[in-house]
Amino acid sequence: MKRHFTLIEMLVVVFIIALLAGIGFSVGGSVRRAAMRDAQAAELAKILTACAKYEVDYGVYPTELLSGEITPPPPPRKIGLATQHGKRRNGTIRAI
């Protein structure tokens, strides 16, 4: 004689699966938020590095340009066949 599952047993299995799925979804959301936070921190580091390089090249921090108190610096001056911020390649000047 075959043994069949009762309704209570089936409901218990469905409840356990739903409980595990709920735990999995909540963990997935927190992992996604942590990954987004790390990506934003990396982008901020890139922006700050770019600002520091701009200050080294032009002697002015970029936020001072936004206030309108000073005028932007002139473009890089030419030094021989290459510019201050470029490379010579096949007789042409290309920006880095």
Q: d(Cα 81, Cα 78) in Å, to the nearest integer?
A: 7
Task: Let me know if residue 3 belongs to a domain.
Answer: no
Distance between first and last Cα of the chain = 81
- Residue-wise pLDDT for 29-63, tens only, equals 788 888 999 999 999 899 888 888 888 888 877 77
Task: Let me know if residue 18 belongs to a domain.
Answer: yes
Task: Let me know if residue 1 belongs to a domain.
Answer: no
Task: Let me know if residue 84 belongs to a domain.
Answer: no
Structural domains of the chain, count: 1
Cβ 72 vs Cβ 61: under 8 Å:
no
Task: Let me know if residue 79 belongs to a domain.
Answer: no
Secondary structure (DSSP) of 51-73? HHHHHHHHSS-HHHHHHTSSPPP
- Residue-wise pLDDT for 10-34, tens only, equals 999 999 999 998 888 877 778 888 8
| Phi, psi at 17, each rounded to 5° | -65, -45
